[in-house]
Amino acid sequence: MSETGRGDNPLQDPSVRYRCYHPAELLVAEGHFASVYSAKQFYADPNFDYDFYIFHRPSAAREGFTAVMERLRSRGKTLIADYDDLIFGDEDVALQSAAVKNGTLSPDRAVAAFASNLAGLREFDRAVTSTVPLKQRLAESNPGATVVVQPNVIPPSILDVHADLETYLVPRPHTAIGYFAGTKSHDQDFPIVADALHRVLMERPDLTLMIVGPVAVPQALAALPNVTTAPVVNFLRLPGLMTMCSTVIAPLEVSVFNECKSRVKFLEAALSGARLLASPIPDMQDVGSGRIGLMETRDDWYEALSETPDYMSRKAQAIDNFAFLRNTCTVDALTTLWGAA
């Protein structure tokens, strides 16, 4: 179950899709019975008939948390905490969060939320994270826990559709760049690449930039004739929209939070066949530089955006990236926790 703001429709939460629905599909394919609840749904009417319970982003502040945990333990259930972002820690960590920087949470509310999440984490002796740096952070906060890394994946129900359609091979303008921001939390990240984009688009009027989502765009960039903006789209429409781009960008500012983030932008770009240019967070590095353009400096961004990849190299990379999605589509790491001591 997941602590999601989409309590009545958790499927609409990208984090819940990747950490709950996608693994659940793979577990069902292996013969398990799996269900997904929002925390709002589960705590209102808890079901005690499962063998394993995975709590995505558990919070001790949730009404009924302590009572439900005690009842599950008394019945000998296996309890696992799951994290895909650094959402726990002390006051110093909380005040550095994107939620505070972007004004999504006041400092006081952020500190309280991080403390409640930390208290929730410490109720578990088994945990799973989406990335290695997040595992390291979790281990520091809960040293006694057994922790494994289960990377985010695209499940067969989605892979098969796009394999049949050959979405990743759809011809597209080689001059089209796309930036897809699912949430406002990227307001601090976009400036990393904004100057390089502005320079390239001024120098190369044949290039175009499509910005999708609620990110703050500098006026000088938004005013360029080769820049378009659009609201965020449904996840199922995203691969089709990305086929309009030959290159997709994923800039991230340097922070302890972004270091813990996952390769989701790569998964989405690979599904659509777009080349990805990204900041070199560890989970992107683990995919391999042959599959992603890893941008260390602003000059790296400018040079890579100025390039026009030839059709054959782009196609070869698209094929390899889609094969990577297939080959990594497992929940093997997660299932090792079934028998953890």
pLDDT above 70 for 268: yes
Q: What is the mean pLDDT of residues 86-99?
A: 92
pLDDT above 90 for 155: yes
Query: CATH: 3.40.50, 3.30.43, 1.10.1740, 3.30.70. Which one for 10-150?
Result: 3.40.50
Residues in the chain: 341
Question: What pLDDT score does 61 carry?
Answer: 96
Which has the higher per-residue pLDDT, 61 or 310? 61
Pairing of strands 227-230, 247-250: unpaired
Retrieve residue 89's tokens: 């820690």
Give the pLDDT band (50/70/90) at residue 122.
very high
Report how far Cα 321 is from the mean position of its chain's Cα atoms: 17
Which has the higher per-residue pLDDT, 190 or 341? 190
Question: What pLDDT score does 311 carry?
Answer: 84
CATH 3.40.50.2000 location in the chain = 156-327
* Alpha helices (runs of H) in 17-155, residue ranges in sequence order: 22-29, 39-44, 65-74, 91-95, 98-101, 107-121, 132-141
The whole-angstrom separation of Cα 277 and Cα 179 is 10
Question: What pLDDT score does 6 carry?
Answer: 86
Question: What pLDDT score does 310 carry?
Answer: 82
pLDDT above 90 for 103: no
Which has the higher per-residue pLDDT, 83 or 102? 83
Question: What pLDDT score does 295 carry?
Answer: 97
Which has the higher per-residue pLDDT, 310 or 280? 280
How confident is the prediction for the chain on average, in pLDDT? 94
Q: What is the mean pLDDT of residues 80-102?
A: 92
Give percent of the chain above pLDDT 70: 98
Sheet order of strands, 78-83 included: 52-56, 78-83, 126-129, 146-149
Question: What pLDDT score does 186 carry?
Answer: 65
Question: What pLDDT score does 340 carry?
Answer: 58
Question: What pLDDT score does 213 carry?
Answer: 87
The whole-angstrom separation of Cα 112 and Cα 89 is 10
Question: What pLDDT score does 200 carry?
Answer: 97
Question: What pLDDT score does 204 carry?
Answer: 95
pLDDT above 80 for 339: no
8: nearest Cα among 37, 46, 50, 28: 37
pLDDT above 70 for 241: yes
Q: What is the mean pLDDT of residues 292-320?
A: 93
Q: What is the mean pLDDT of residues 26-40?
A: 95
CATH number of 156-327: 3.40.50.2000
The whole-angstrom separation of Cα 14 and Cα 329 is 18
Q: What is the mean pLDDT of residues 40-65?
A: 96
pLDDT above 80 for 125: yes
Give percent of the chain above pLDDT 90: 84
The whole-angstrom separation of Cα 69 and Cα 48 is 10
Question: What pLDDT score does 301 carry?
Answer: 97
